[in-house]
Homo-oligomer: A and B are copies of this chain.
Amino acid sequence: MSQLPEQSARTSVPTSADVARAAGVSRATVSYVLNDNTTVRISDATRRRVRAAAFDLGYVPHAAARSLRAGHSRMVLLPATRLPAGLLQRRFFTDLQSDLRRLDYTVVQYGSAGLDPDEAVRAWAELRPVAVVAPAGVPLTPHGIGMLTRSGAKAVITLGPQPVEGAHALVLDQRVVGGSAVRHLLARGRRRIGVVMPQEPGLALFSEPRLAGALQAAEACAGARVRRLPLRYEETSATELAARWRTLGLDSVFAYDDEYAMLLMRALQDAGVEVPAETAVVGAGDLMLGRLLRPRLSSVSMELATAQPPAEMIDRLVRNPGGAPERHDLLRARTVARESG
């Protein structure tokens, strides 16, 4: 008979109403106690009873219900890309995440692999984030920015090589990388400079600006020439390139990054091209890897210069929305000279 007590046999999850019932108070009181609401005085005895009941039932508030009632969330959305994130970006995200949490935001990374731009931005907007930080490679259009703003996002921020119309921008201008490498080579008397262009899809986002920076830097020097060198991240591709190296008439190469540099340098050495005597090689990323090569690899070292921590910037934009798009250049590059050129 007593097998189905009125409100037991609950297979579902406990709500604040369950806590109220268990503690013998109203739902309002439960809310007051659990949110430490100071505008209302609750007796210590009641407080304890409510807390105990919540603990016993394993009560956990329902974030969706809460933000629905509140009319806003504190979710910062980070649409993910499927690009292989570099060390720099990973560190950036990790830091951003902890900093935002410290400011009481909830950071949510949302994978949008294989959605077309409209579907993707719609999916983000459904979550009603208070801010969106979109790394390079996610399909964010001015139209998408409008949709996010209209659905309540107080700040839309792009993070990558170039800004998008209408959004704030944390710009990682990859041109400074190519520029630094080429200036380094020019200073050492090199004039006929190759620039490796990875053929892997997705990397064009980074390699094209690096090349652009290289070209720009070369313009400052009369006799300098820059040549584009397509390369796949495979030994065969590097071997091919090395085999026709001498026909190219280059005295140096900026190899996109340290990994492509290692690949190419190995192939050049195997083909009998001396590094740096005949051809100087410069990578980028300043990985441990480069220091272990022989000759040690010269490399463009990158870092993010943040006047104001990005998390604070986001917080400021959220509290004070509607301003003109801000733009901050974050990427700094400096070439570390080692033995390879």
Contact = CB atoms under 8 A, between A and B. Distances in A.
A123 interface: yes
Contacts of A211: none
A72 B188 CA distance: 65
Given A63-B127, A111-B97, A126-B63, A235 B291 contact: yes
A68 B62 contact: yes
Give the bracket for the number of chain A residues in contact with chain B: 35 or more
A84 interface: yes
A211 to B, nearest CB: 23
Contacts of A128: 13, 62-64
A208 interface: no
Contacts of A94: 82, 111, 113
A234 B292 CA distance: 10
Given A97-B113, A98-B114, A113-B98, A108 B108 contact: yes
A46 interface: no
Contact of A288 (B60, B107, B113, B263): B263
B288 A266 contact: no
Contacts of A97: 80, 111, 113
Interface stretch (A144-152, A155-163, A271-279): A144-152
A169 to B, nearest CB: 23
27 contacts: A13-B152, A14-B150, A58-B147, A60-B122, A60-B147, A61-B126, A62-B126, A64-B65, A64-B67, A64-B73, A64-B127, A64-B128, A65-B68, A80-B97, A84-B90, A94-B113, A98-B111, A98-B113, A108-B109, A109-B109, A109-B110, A233-B288, A235-B288, A235-B291, A262-B289, A263-B288, A289-B289
Interface of A: 12-14, 58, 60-65, 67-68, 73, 80, 82, 84, 90, 94, 97-98, 101, 106-111, 113-115, 122-123, 125-128, 146-147, 150-152, 233-235, 259, 262-263, 266, 288-289, 291-292
Given A64-B128, A234-B288, 9 more contacts: A13-B128, A13-B152, A58-B146, A60-B125, A60-B147, A62-B126, A62-B128, A64-B64, A109-B109
